[in-house]
Amino acid sequence: MPISKPRRAIIQDFLKEKQIHASEWHCCDTTFTSITEIAIHVNQHHQADIDTRETKKREEKQEKENNLYLLKQRRGKKGSSDPIATECQCQLEDSKVILFYRYALVEDPVKFALDHQSYCANMTGKVRIAGEGINATLAGSNQDMDAYLNWLTTTQPFQDDALNDLRQPINLRLDEPSTARYKFFKPSQGCTHVFSELSIKLVDEICPLGQTTVVLDKLQKPDHGHGKLSPSDFHAILSKRHQDDFILLDTRNYYESKIGHFEGAIQPPIRKFSQFPDYVERNKDAMRGKTILTYCTGGIRCEKATAFMRQALPDEEIFMLDGGIHNYMEWWKHKDIESEDPVWQGKNYVFDARQSLGLQEDSIVSQCQMCQQPWDKYKKCGSAGCHLLVLCCDACCASDQPVYCCDDCRHGQQNGLCACERERRHREMQQLQV
């Protein structure tokens, strides 16, 4: 009976363990001088050992497949979506929320994800892990957060000399913005209730652009890093926007940019990041000959957006705001300049129950879609299967009554796409005007 390939590999490993020289093997107090002799010996006296090893290998393989299946399952029930409001009585000074990403080779994504399940067991949030890196936003107690960061910064994906400062085991504090950990992990005030659960998933991309040409090697090239602007440099350029000829492009989704954006930004009406390349391709002619500045929430989308745009528009200068809106807002809070106004307007949308963060609570750039009064708090469309976000003020929408994004949803007549989504897709197909 022929030996299976996995069993043959196990036998070969067994023989290597017994080999003491190029042509000598030692087993059961006997020295063998040919591969044939040791092979016969193993076949006659060690079948039980080989069977045990084969069973263990098979169990390990099955366990890995089970883990892989669980780590790739969708996070919630089909048709569900994240909460956009929460009420709790937590002492916020006892906990925090972090937001970070890292594009780096992850040699064993499954193990990295399983380790996260252990180290993040008391936290809530979302962790996405792929061969290209990690993307995470987590909420937890100060103690759990510090223990997690002390572990994370020693793992393989963080073994880079440029990250030595991150490995200093200091506590992450909201009042110490100058530390390396603060700048990298972008902490903000919040508790575990801003997320409904802990979700750790294995994915193909930590930020799904859907472009196979935008790979890790390109994101790690020096010229890509040189295209990153500090918040102060970004602010200086935008402060002179009426003098200089450039395009400012928001790479986020339409519902994010609707409640907050940089002054003068073009806001593509896209619903998910994977639609961004099509938007660029349709509007390349309008972008040619321009310097292009991009921004997103924390920088992760701009990393891929600028890499893709450099392929689509190789002759143009393309830059991104390093660390995204979050870093700009942090820089503005702690800057020395007092005489200027921020070029950021409104709120920064965040993907948790806090919904948004702002420099000023009264800075509102969006309107209630019913009465057109200033408003920036979203509610979810009450139609089953439609999770579009609706800007509806408390005066127009009773708290105990469902809100609908359009009459199609109100009357249950979506037929696949409701009027709001059809309008968005129509706007998405329109050409950019600059």
Active site amino acids: 296
Contact assessment for residue 84 and residue 380, using Cβ atoms and an 8 Å cutoff:
yes
Of residues 140, 143, 252, the one with CA closest to residue 207: 252
| Tokens read off for 354 | 């806090």
CA distance 93 to 100: 20
| Tokens read off for 333 | 């809070």
> Which residue's structure tokens are 């990393």?
303
CA distance 31 to 41: 11
**Polymer length of the chain:** 434
Contact assessment for residue 390 and residue 369, using Cβ atoms and an 8 Å cutoff:
yes
Contact assessment for residue 187 and residue 98, using Cβ atoms and an 8 Å cutoff:
yes
